[in-house]
């Protein structure tokens, strides 16, 4: 990780998993893991951040709206929706386009409105994207998944806080996605240390809260 002041948004990762550590069915179909209390918490959290980010895998699997539900938050300011989509696979009729502002980050040349090129590698350069978001005034970013995207954020040392809701169900299956997929065992075959900061019982499960160890020098 680079030394000195880190000018980038604060990054919060939030995910819901089963008791056996899976975030969707083996065929990647969405499954209900938490309930009303956790939905409310997530929508209140969305309302407190400036942007929400997911990968194209989540867009294709779940077609999420990525908005703040008025049922949970009165008169919300919908955060900016940010999608990582290197090969421009986001469907034109995706629900994320229905309400609020959006930004799609790609690694290909683009002059489409609302799209931004970050790097020219196989995937979106997320460190560069963080700089671009900082320049746009994004101070807090909520990363909601899926496992590939969350893995990249950990790998790049970009995660500040992690909340994991553990629901009371088993999903099973070695192909079912987990909160952090990717290659795993990061640089030097090391694990990533977390600082456990608390828990909360909600619905029929438990919310686990962590800070990511190490460099405290986040911009805000």
Q: Which of 67, 90, 152, 163 binds ligand NAP (CB under 6 A)?
A: 152
The answer to whether residues 153 and 11 touch, using CB atoms and an 8 Å cutoff, is: yes
212 token code pair? 């990511």
Nearest to 52 by CA among 89, 90, 78, 19: 78
58 touching ligand NAP, by CB under 6 A:
yes
- For ligand NAP, the binding residue among 11, 13, 23, 94 (CB under 6 A) is 23
The pair phi, psi for residue 188, each rounded to 5°, is 60, 20
Our finding on whether 24 is near ligand NAP (CB under 6 A) is yes
Residue 85, interface with ligand NAP (CB under 6 A)?
A: yes
User: Whole-number minimum distance, CB 30 to ligand NAP, in Å?
Assistant: 4
- Answer yes or no whether residue 148 interacts with ligand NAP by CB under 6 A: yes
Residue among 3, 9, 13, 71 nearest 192 (CA): 13
HSE (side-chain half, CA atoms, 13 Å) at 14: 18
* Cβ neighbours for 107, distance < 8 A, ≥ 6 positions apart: 86, 117, 118, 119, 120, 121, 122, 123, 124, 125
- Among 9, 12, 49, 55, contact with ligand NAP (rule: CB under 6 A): 55
Q: Is 63 in the site for ligand NAP (CB under 6 A)?
A: no
How many amino acids of this chain bind ligand NAP (CB under 6 A)?
31
Q: Are 141 and 10 in contact (CB under 8 A)?
A: yes
Nearer to ligand NAP, 138 or 167 (CB): 167
Interface characters, 112-131, with ligand NAP (x: CB under 6 A): -----------xx-x-----
Which residue from 33, 51, 82, 133 is in contact with ligand NAP, where contact means CB under 6 A? 33
x/- string (CB under 6 A) for ligand NAP, residues 168-207? ---------x---x--------------------------
Binding site for ligand NAP (CB under 6 A): 15-16, 23-24, 28, 30, 33, 54-58, 61-62, 84-87, 89, 123-124, 126, 144-149, 152, 177, 181
């Amino acid at each position: 990780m680079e030394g000195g002041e880190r000018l980038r948004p604060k990054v919060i990762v939030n995910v819901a998993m089963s008791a056996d550590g899976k975030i969707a069915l083996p065929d990647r179909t969405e499954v209900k893991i938490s309930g009303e209390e956790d939905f409310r918490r997530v929508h209140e959290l969305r309302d407190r951040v400036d942007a929400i980010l997911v990968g194209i895998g989540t867009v294709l699997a779940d077609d999420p709206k990525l908005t703040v539900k008025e049922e949970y938050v009165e008169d919300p300011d919908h955060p900016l929706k940010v999608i990582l989509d290197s090969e421009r696979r986001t469907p034109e009729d995706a629900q994320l386009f229905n309400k609020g502002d959006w930004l799609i980050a790609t690694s290909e040349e683009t002059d489409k409105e609302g799209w931004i090129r970050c790097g020219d590698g196989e995937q979106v350069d997320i460190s560069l994207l963080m700089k671009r978001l900082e320049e746009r005034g994004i101070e807090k970013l909520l990363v909601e998944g899926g496992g590939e995207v969350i893995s990249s954020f950990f790998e790049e040392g970009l995660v500040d806080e992690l909340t994991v809701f553990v629901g009371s169900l088993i999903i099973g299956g070695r192909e079912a996605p987990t909160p952090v997929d990717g290659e795993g065992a990061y640089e030097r075959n090391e694990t990533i240390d977390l600082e456990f900061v608390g828990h909360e019982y909600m619905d029929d499960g438990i919310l686990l809260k962590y800070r990511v160890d190490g460099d405290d020098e986040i911009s805000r």
